[in-house]
Structure 1
Amino acid sequence: MNSYMRRIGVYVCHCGTNIAGTVDVDEVTEFASKLDDVVVAKNYEFMCSDPGKEMIEEDIEEEELTNVVVAACSPTLHEDTFMEVVQSGGLNRFLFQQANIREHCSWVTDDEEEATEKAKRLVNAAVSRVKRHEPLEVREVDVVPRTLVVGGGIAGIEAALDVADSGKEVHLVEKSPSIGGHMAQLDKTFPTLDCSACILTPKMSDVGGDPYINLMTYSEVESVEGYPGNYEVKVKRKPRYVDENKCTGCGICQEKCPATAPSEFDEEIGERKAIYIPFPQAVPQIPVIDKENCIYFEREKCKACELNCPRDAVNFEQEEEIEELDVGNIIIATGYELMDPSVIKRYGYGKYDDVYTALEIERMIDATGPTDGEIITSKGEEPETVVIVHCVGSRDENYNEYCSRVCCMYSMKLAHLIKDETDADVFELYLDLRAFGKGYEEFYNRVREEDIIFVQGKAGAINVEKEKEKLLVDCEDSLLQKRIEIPADMVVLAPAIEPRRDVEETADKFNISRSEDGFFMERHPKLAPVNTVSDGIFLAGACQGPKDIPDSVAQGGFAAEEAIAMIDAEELELEPYISEVDEETCAGCKICIALCPFDAAEFIDEEGVARIEETLCKGCGTCVAACPSGAAHQQGFSDDQITAEIVGVLK
């Protein structure tokens, strides 16, 4: 601890009644005023308000304060706010400590006397710690003026276009042969019943023709290294076996190809050729050869596509390529997958031919789909009765506890479209209808007037009535308070939206966190909904959680604005809470290297010691806690500071 005199100011926030309703703030203020080195102690209704902030700034100057403690809410909410106030007052911003007397005290302690006593201890701990704070300096790094967008669904498309519209370069990487994502598979969108392709296709075309966007389809991010503002990304470009520079997308190769395979785009209801463009509006209009189903790759015969290509674009010798990119920030928009409903055995998906998923019906309804827009059963007949089952794997503690948010609305949309195209009786089996968006409740009311039968209750087992060969849907009708059976020709399941199967691998690759439900986790659900714990990496769309198209587009635009602002700043400030290694004490055990989640620790062979790469270090402290020789230290979290805080809270 430095020997010069400390002059500490302590400020206790009422936070309306959030703190003052349980904690006696006057008593806490009086207590703080008597602590060693505290020269001013005050309380105010809202310390984060302009008058509260001005109070601190004025006292720093008039009382010649050397350190400031604010006892208020969580540092997650307002630590940056108060640090800026301290800096505006003329102090180093890191000569500040915030005591959390709301989330850690008033909100979790009912007894006023106990809450007040606890608040005193937290303030004492903060004062004890702040005495040992040293001035720290933020690090500044240059920002590469390019953005990487990972995922070419509607959120990724919106993000890429918005960044490109600002005059910044964008690399858009998409795993599939075309951009478009799940939205491209939809016939119409709720609640306005707009043609999905009519909305999406112009944006896809804009991406393909934008001079600022480098579109990399049929590609995957292989690795990410570097630090915020300067990421080095390796992208694996899978071989299409078609030269993109020569191909004109004429489609002759598809016509001549004799081999077929189930169409992934049509949810395997229809077929495609072994060389194919996924769907008519695909971007780019470049086919890809499916190596597993191609006769040439299987038996070294055929080559019909190559022989008939007027541009000599087919190249069976094409190989995988690795492309290296330098970018300043990354937007992750990798989307979602639908739950496989076959794991819920009682619904009979995969067992009975006429039990479909909602997305399979979307493809069936689409005029460009495998049935040319006809809604038919496996026998090729129009159904007389259709049952739509909501919440298949959603709001179910056995599978996914969360609501998938879009299922109620798209189920009602499908009911409307089925009713419009057929004479079928349509049943909606639902737990609770959730119509939360603009125009959604009105759409629900519209559908209710179309003779669609709504049954509130959980669907049970689906079996087959042997005599009539009907599907029998067992259901609990909670309004009638009895079980009913509905004979149906077709059952449509609304499966849960789930994280992609490669979500864990992606999270590890980009050093981002996941929430309990498996989706990528934002830094703060309200204050930083598109940011992640890794600076310069943002989230957009359903990879962060279930959401509809408007929310995905909005989040894509928000993530783009964050990326643009970061690039426009030209330099990025990095917090100074980094670790460092005392090389004289380091024993070279390499434990820190094995444990560092950000690959910031490296071993210097020539000297036999570990060293921390400052630009990669996130200040998590893992290496400091694990170092057996005590050689690793973290700025802002010294043993002296932490010990003083612990002793302070125990007094």
Structure 2
Amino acid sequence: MKIGVYVCHCGINIAANVDVKAVAEYAKTLPNVVVAKDYVFMCSDPGQDLIKEDVEELGLDRVVVASCSPRMHEPTFRKAVQTKGMNAFLFEQANIREHCSWVHEDRESGTEKAKALVSAAVAKAALLKPLEVMEADVEPSALVVGGGIAGIHAAIDSANAGYKTYLLERDPSLGGHVAEMCKIFPNMDRAACLLIPKMTEVATHPNISVLTYSELIDVGGFIGNFDLKIKKKPRYVDPEKCTACGECAKVCPVKTDDGKAAIDMPYPFAVPRTYTINPELCLRFQEGEGDCSKCKDACPEGAVDFEQTEEEQELKIGAIVVATGYDEFDASLKPELRYDMY
């Protein structure tokens, strides 16, 4: 294998805080490197010609350029090696401008870091494989993970752009932390007044499918063509039949410290507006507690279904948006803020 290394001065952008010639000399000692040169502007036509000549005359297998960010000139150098028959993906670029010169004032430390980046780039180049650019159809759909206010907005934006959108939430209802709040800073608007219209819009949007009480368990495929597996947990209540009358919760013998029953709806404006049985609380699912069916007997619509089981759903998705939210800060860890007093 023959690797060529080319170190750019970028005028003084790199040369000011990196000893470019020392980096080039160091590169000559690296495995598989047969030529190492430095030039004032590698991206210029003369700089590219240096690379092209060596690819042709020395039969280089790989090319490494230590210069600016690949976001700026990687396409430039890939085209240069392609003109001499080298696969564009056998080129590697080390960023010694943004990562070295522009962040280090000490020339010695900047130079040592540049050497390390060049060494890494050479090692990576030796492992590169020729690739082929291909076109693939993209699934015109999106999955938004997280049904809080951020996920709701993302789903609406995606759906309004014309894409089929799935909104995934692991809890029984959309809303996230905002649904638990009373008022919102800075105008002290009521959280429900801001959230309910958005939740209603999501629930009724023709391009949005809401998947609550569900979790993403596997992601395969690639960008534009993801293969997903989603686990849908049993509610033990049929949302199509439930009218949210609350008769089931009234007769439930289980009550938590905050007054919640084992069969409950998170809040009056929940989406979907249906009750869910918590198997960790429900007596029917506790060993040795009998076969309680009071909620089922009380339901006028026959919506309670203890036979429901966990389901898996497979989807093909083009894009995934992660909006999984945050955890609330435990203010007791900051006693100086006096949260225990106010």
Alignment of 1:432-443 (within 5 A): none
Write out per-residue CA displacement over residues 27-60 of structure 1, whole angstroms, 9 at most, x where no aligned residue: 7679999x9656x74214xx7xxxxx4x159834
The answer to whether structure 1 residue 332 and structure 2 residue 322 are counterparts is yes
d(CA) in 1 for partners of 2:280, 2:111: 70
* TM-score computed with the length of structure 2 as normaliser: 0.75
Query: What displacement does 1:330 show?
Result: 2.5
Q: 1:234 aligns with which of 229, 238, 244?
A: 229
Of the three residues 31, 39, 42, the one matched with 1:42 is 39
Q: Tell me if the contact between 1:68 and 1:86 (Cα under 8 Å) persists in the aligned partners.
A: no
Query: In the alignment, does 2:291 pair up with 1:300?
Result: yes
Give 1:358-369 correspondences, 5 Å limit.
none
Q: Matched residues in 1 for 2:137 and 2:216: separation?
A: 23
In the alignment, what sits opposite 1:208?
A: 203
User: Which residue identity does 1:158 align to in structure 2?
Assistant: H
Other structure's SS at 2:92 match: strand
Distance 2:208 2:125 in 1: 49
Instruction: State the secondary structure of the residue aligned to 2:89.
Output: coil
Match of 2:48 in 1: 59
The equivalent position to 2:251 in structure 1, one of 254, 257, 271, is 257
- Note the C-alpha offset of 1:195: 1.5
Residue number in structure 1 paired with 2:341? 491
Match of 2:161 in 1: 166
Structure 2 match to 1:274: 262
Q: Which residue of 1 aligns with 2:58?
A: none
Give the drift of 1:323.
2.1
Note the C-alpha offset of 1:116.
5.4
* Matches of 1:122 and 1:272, distance apart in 2: 58
* Equivalence for 1:290: 278
Per the alignment, residue 23 of structure 1 pairs with: 18
AA at the equivalent of 2:325: G
Return 5+ residue gaps in structure 1 as ranges. 48-52, 263-267, 342-356, 358-388, 393-428, 431-458, 460-472, 474-489, 493-651
Instruction: Please tell me whether residue 391 in structure 1 is matched to residue 334 in structure 2.
Output: yes
Whole-angstrom CA distance in 2 between matches of 1:72 and 1:249? 64
Q: Is the aligned partner of 1:319 residue 2:315?
A: no
Whichever residue aligns with residue 188 of structure 2, its letter is L
Superposition RMSD on alpha carbons, in Å? Answer: 4.1
CA distance in 2, matches of 1:315, 1:84: 59
The change in CA–CA distance for 1:61 and 1:28 in structure 2 (over 3 A counts) is closer
Residues 169, 213 of structure 1: 8 Å contact kept = yes
What letter matches 2:179 in structure 1?
A
- 2 CA distance for matches of 1:122 and 1:313? 63
What is the identity, as a one-letter code, of the residue corresponding to 1:208? A
Tell me the secondary structure at the aligned position of residue 207 of structure 1. helix
Instruction: Check 1:242–1:56 CA distance in 2 against 1; reply closer, same or farther (3 A cut).
Output: farther
CA contact (8 A) 2:234 2:308 kept: yes
Q: Which residue of 2 aligns with 1:245?
A: 240
**1:110 aligned partner:** 106
| Amino acid of the structure 2 residue aligned with 1:391 | K
Distance 1:291 1:271 in 2: 17
The one of 135, 147, 156 aligned to 1:152: 147
SS for the counterpart of 1:337 is coil
- The residue aligned with 1:397 is none
Identity %: 42
The 1-side partners of 2:143 and 2:239 are apart by: 21
Q: Please state how far the C-alpha of 1:65 moved relative to its aligned partner.
A: 6.0
Q: Tell me, what secondary structure is at the counterpart of 2:260?
A: strand
C-alpha contact (below 8 Å) 1:146/1:327 kept by paired residues? yes
The answer to whether the Cα contact below 8 Å between 1:9 and 1:68 also exists between their aligned partners in 2 is: yes
Which residue of the other structure, out of 6, 13, 25, is the alignment partner of 1:10?
6
**Secondary structure at the residue paired with 2:341?**
strand
Question: Displacement of 1:180 after TM fit?
Answer: 0.5
Matches of 1:62 and 1:165 in 2, distance apart? 48
Q: How far apart are the structure 2 equivalents of 1:87 and 1:237?
A: 46
User: d(CA) in 2 for partners of 1:133 and 1:234?
Assistant: 32
Aligned 8 A contact 1:57 1:88 in 2: no
SS in 2 for 1:215: strand
The residue type equivalent to 2:189 in the other structure is D
Distance 1:69 1:259, change over 3 A: same
Distance 1:211 1:15, change over 3 A: farther
Aligned pair count?
A: 324
